[in-house]
Chains A and B, each alone.
Chain A
Amino acid sequence: MHDSELSREDLLIHRAIDGCVGVGDWAELELLGRRDPAVWKRLAIAMRGELTLRRAGAAIDAYLPSLPLERHAVGRRAPILIGGLGWAAALVVCFLWLGGPRLGLGNSEHGNPSSSLGAAAAWAQYLEAGDADGRFVRELPPVMLEATPSADGDTVEVLFVRRAIERTTVGEIFEINEDDAGRLSSRPVPVLRLVSSEPLR
């Protein structure tokens, strides 16, 4: 990266292409250009880059609307499982990320304001949708992580994990490895039949 001091020319070129150039700035830029005509070439190149950036905005904008908020509210991903269940859980994550359809309600991209649902209702709707398309197998009892009494002692806040067995079809299964330097890599695992060594109860 270029950390050297910003020159007056850099600042004036920035102002020229940003549209915030003042009368004095133009005069100064013209003076610089008379001394060194390459200034105009540098200005032209900067404008070329700017034009490319502006065009990119339309492309990125076209991409942003494909992120329905409803899906955010319901379609939680599974990375939090990695720590607790070891590589088998990591494989589950591979399923979801590599081959499987994304978690979420089938047609949520087009309306269906499920963000208005309570979490329990949204979860039930999610399981129902998964049941309908064959993704959902069955729900396991939740696992409690922590229970904390409130200050007045009337209630208890409970942190727990919901568990659902799901089915998906993927092209490949990957094993994740970490080398001594902490670099992560993945490699395809040949599969005849693979069963988690930590069966879910």
Chain B
Amino acid sequence: MANDPDRRLFEAAARGDPAALEALWRRERRRVAAVLLAHRPREEDLEDLLQEVGIIFVERLREVREPDRFRAWLRIVALNVARGAGRRVKIQRDRRRGLEAAIEVHDPTGERSLERSEARDELRQVIAWIRGLSPSLAEPLLLRAVWGMAQREIAEWLGVPETTVETRLARARRVLRQRIEEADRLRRAE
């Protein structure tokens, strides 16, 4: 959080300014979502966990003394929420509230019918891929490939060297490629 506008936004949010809180949350939520998607246990819904991080974000942001430590703090909060979810009682919930709802509702093509169902299938496929990756590979892949974050930014977010991010991305993409190849082989065999 090197530049002044970022610092001002953080400071306003930390004072409890609702507009600043909202703006800061909107800016950071993709990072949080990437952590949760990469680390969450399968039974948990992304929405529930995002809400949990959001509660802590609102209630405890003022405890973060250094703006430069904000993202590191937020990532630890998200990690703890994701890991804590694994220890909680798991109950099958109304799936309409979860990410599956996004699959059903979102229509990237703007059209119904076949194209729409293909988009749904693609998103389902991506979620299955992400769940099959280790969190250390899934998180940078989501940030880079899904949301276009720069490798340098990802390195700062993860607290690792940029070369490590590149290696993890290359590994993640290799795993995905191998999965696609395997799926293609199975389709051809049918």
* Residue ranges of A at the interface with B (Cβ–Cβ < 8 Å): 1-2, 6, 10-11, 13-15, 17-18, 20, 42, 45-46, 48-50, 52-67, 69-73, 75-77, 79, 82, 90, 93-94, 97-99, 102, 113, 115-116, 174, 176, 184, 186
Q: How far is the CA of A79 from the CA of B93 in the complex (A)?
A: 14
Q: How far is the CA of A73 from the CA of B94 in the complex (A)?
A: 23
**A10 pairs with B147, CB closer than 8 A:** no
Question: Binding site of A, secondary structure by majority: helix, strand, loop or mixed?
Answer: helix
**A6 pairs with B101, CB closer than 8 A:** no
**A50 pairs with B173, CB closer than 8 A:** yes
**A59 pairs with B102, CB closer than 8 A:** yes
Which residues of chain B have C-beta atoms less than 8 A from A10's C-beta? 170-171, 173-174
**A18 pairs with B122, CB closer than 8 A:** no
Which residues of chain B have C-beta atoms less than 8 A from A6's C-beta? 167, 170-171, 174
Interface size on B, residues (CB 8 A): 69
Out of A11, A55, A102, name the residue touching B119 (CB < 8 Å): A55
Q: How far is the CA of A102 from the CA of B92 in the complex (A)?
A: 15
A-B contact count (CB 8 A): 169
**B89 pairs with A57, CB closer than 8 A:** no
24 contacts between A and B (CB under 8 A): A2-B175, A6-B174, A10-B170, A10-B173, A13-B174, A14-B173, A45-B181, A45-B184, A46-B173, A46-B176, A46-B177, A55-B122, A59-B106, A60-B37, A63-B101, A64-B33, A67-B29, A71-B51, A90-B89, A98-B94, A115-B18, A115-B22, A115-B58, A174-B91
Which residues of chain A have C-beta atoms less than 8 A from B21's C-beta? 69, 115
B46 to chain A, nearest CB (A): 8
Which residues of chain A have C-beta atoms less than 8 A from B176's C-beta? 46, 49, 53
**Chain B residue at minimum C-beta to C-beta distance from A90:** B89
Known contacts A54-B146, A56-B122; can you find 5 more A-B pairs with CB under 8 A?
A6-B171, A10-B173, A42-B181, A60-B123, A115-B21
**B106 pairs with A63, CB closer than 8 A:** yes
- B151 is an interface residue with CB less than 8 A from chain A: yes
Q: How far is the CA of A10 from the CA of B172 in the complex (A)?
A: 10
Q: How far is the CA of A77 from the CA of B50 in the complex (A)?
A: 12
Q: How far is the CA of A71 from the CA of B30 in the complex (A)?
A: 18
Given contacts A55-B122, A56-B122, A184-B89, contact A67 B102 (CB under 8 A): no
* Residue ranges of B at the interface with A (Cβ–Cβ < 8 Å): 16, 18-19, 21-22, 25-26, 29-30, 33, 37, 46-48, 50-52, 54-55, 57-59, 88-94, 97, 99, 101-103, 105-106, 108, 119, 122-123, 125-127, 129, 133-134, 137, 141, 144-148, 151, 166-167, 169-171, 173-181, 184
